[in-house]
DNA sequence: TTCTAAATGAAAAACTTTTTCAATACGGAA
DNA sequence: TTCCGTATTGAAAAAGTTTTTCATTTAGAA
């Protein structure tokens, strides 16, 4: 059990939730994940630690963790919801809106911005998720070619 | 048809998509929406402009628009996906992770940051979505009281 | 106007998420 | 340690969402 997981476990306990075998398995799997996981993916990974783990429990545990701000929902490309740990020191991603290729960005200085937000809204900021959308080099090329071909046809037709 | 919608329509045309009545209805509804809409909500609103509009067409149109970077997926609290126009000049939101209350933030200066990202990754940045998660004042209080009550019980039990 | 490919709606299929309920297991008290 | 009460669990079913299929319609170019 690593430090990350101890913290998560402590937070659950601090709010009166029991620390069960299925939940430990889920925490462990989340702590080890390098990317947001859908509930189904999370179940698969957590079953390494608790082979009996049911999908319903994954949903219920994620719900609790989201309420406590331990986990954050993220949009996944394949049509279902993903969850990632809301730990500090995370990285951000740029996602290509056409082919869904992902590039990681290191270094993110939103600290000052977030302090302003906290001061202005009265919220305690527990985390943030910055999704940057764009077009990767390949898709830029593909889209341009598409548009170009169309234009050529238009001219040829005149 | 407002300017926003003209731009969207032009973008679809530029990539060889037909501009049909159902699609115009969808664009119109999106352009008028002040918040991210789920496909079902979008259908309801777009039916004002095309009473026959089918939900399948909403999904298909959103898929095209997402590929072209005209629309961005957003996580909604009620378990389905939301879509918002990827227009510049948008605002950001802080969402309470416990009660899902939303506060809007005006002023967001990520411009410089995004330029760095573009330069480093080779991506054309078409937009970004910053989700800030936190606890609203009410939920901070509620959670603290919960934890406090628990502690009291613990002490009383000693 | 005519033509053709793209786009459409309806129905069905496939998935995801939530609810229900009897059985189980955590963690406090003895 | 063992016992007890209640939170938690898995399985099944229900509800909701997204995707696929297919015959029909329609936009837009000739």
Least reliable range by pLDDT among A1-15, A92-106, B48-62, B79-93 = B79-93
Q: Where in chain B is the domain with CATH 1.10.10.10?
A: 1-87
Adjacency order of strands within the sheet including A102-105: A102-105, A92-96, A124-135, B124-135, B92-96, B102-105
Q: Report d(CA A104, CA A92) in Å as an integer.
A: 6
Average pLDDT over residues A89-98: 70
Reported ipTM: 0.73
Residue A51 phi/psi, 5-degree rounding, is -60, -20
pLDDT band at B158 (very low <50, low <70, confident <90, very high): very low
CB A111 within 8 A of CB A117: no
Question: Residue B56, CB, less than 7 Å from strand C?
Answer: yes
Q: What is the pLDDT of residues A115-144, one digit of tens each?
A: 878 888 888 887 777 777 788 888 888 777
pLDDT at A27: 95
What residues in A contact B96, CB-CB < 8 Å?
123
Q: Between A87 and B133, where is the model more confident?
A: B133
- Kindly list the distances between the CA atom of residue B60 and the CA atoms of A28, A49, B15, B66, B141, in Å, as whole numbers in the listed order: 38, 40, 15, 10, 44
Question: Residue B80, CB, less than 7 Å from strand D?
Answer: yes
Strands A124-135 and B81-85: unpaired
- Kindly list the distances between the CA atom of residue A72 and the CA atoms of A90, A112, B46, in Å, as whole numbers in the listed order: 12, 21, 31
Q: Where in chain A is the domain with CATH 3.30.1490.190?
A: 88-158
- Which A positions 25-64 lie with beta carbon below 8 A of chain B? none
Return the bridge partners of B83, or none.
B37, B73
Non-local (6+) Cβ contacts of B82 within 8 A are: B35, B36, B37, B38, B73, B74, B75, B76
pLDDT at B23: 97
pLDDT at B140: 83
Pinpoint the alpha helices (H) of A34-125.
Answer: 39-46, 55-67, 111-121
Please determine, for residue B80, whether its predicted confidence score (pLDDT) is greater than 80. no
pLDDT at A79: 59
Return the bridge partners of B37, or none.
B83
pLDDT at A24: 96
CB A63 within 8 A of CB A15: no
Q: Which of A87, A88, A136 is nearest to A109 (CA)?
A: A88
Average pLDDT over residues B100-127: 76
Question: Residue A20, CB, less than 7 Å from strand D?
Answer: yes
| C-beta within 7 A of nucleic chain C, residues 96-125 of B | none
Q: Closest nucleotide to residue B51 (Cα to C1')?
A: C9
pLDDT band at A157 (very low <50, low <70, confident <90, very high): very low
Top-tier CATH class for B88-158: alpha beta
Return the bridge partners of B94, or none.
B103, B132
Return the bridge partners of B120, or none.
none
Please determine, for residue B38, whether its predicted confidence score (pLDDT) is greater than 60. yes
Q: Between A142 and B54, where is the model more confident?
A: B54
Q: Between B26 and A109, where is the model more confident?
A: B26
Chain A residue with the nearest C-alpha to that of B106: A117
Q: Does the B1-87 domain belong in CATH 3.40.50.620?
A: no
pLDDT band at A109 (very low <50, low <70, confident <90, very high): low
Through-space distance between the first and last CA atoms of chain A, rounded to whole angstroms:
70
């Amino acid at each position: 059990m690593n430090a990350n997981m101890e913290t998560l476990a402590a937070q659950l306990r601090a709010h009166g939730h029991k620390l069960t075998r299925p939940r430990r398995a889920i925490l462990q799997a989340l702590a080890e994940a390098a990317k947001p996981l859908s509930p189904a993916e999370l179940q698969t990974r957590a079953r390494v630690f608790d082979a009996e783990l049911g999908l319903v429990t994954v949903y219920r545990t994620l719900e609790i963790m989201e309420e406590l701000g331990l986990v954050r929902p993220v949009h996944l490309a394949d049509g279902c919801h993903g969850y990632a740990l809301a730990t500090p020191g995370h990285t951000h991603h740029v996602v290509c809106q056409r082919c869904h290729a992902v590039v990681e960005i290191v270094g993110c200085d939103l600290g000052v911005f977030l302090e302003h937000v906290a001061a202005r809204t009265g919220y305690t900021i527990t985390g943030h998720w910055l999704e940057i959308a764009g077009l990767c080099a390949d898709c830029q090329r593909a889209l341009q070619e598409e548009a170009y071909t169309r234009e050529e046809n238009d001219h040829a037709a005149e």
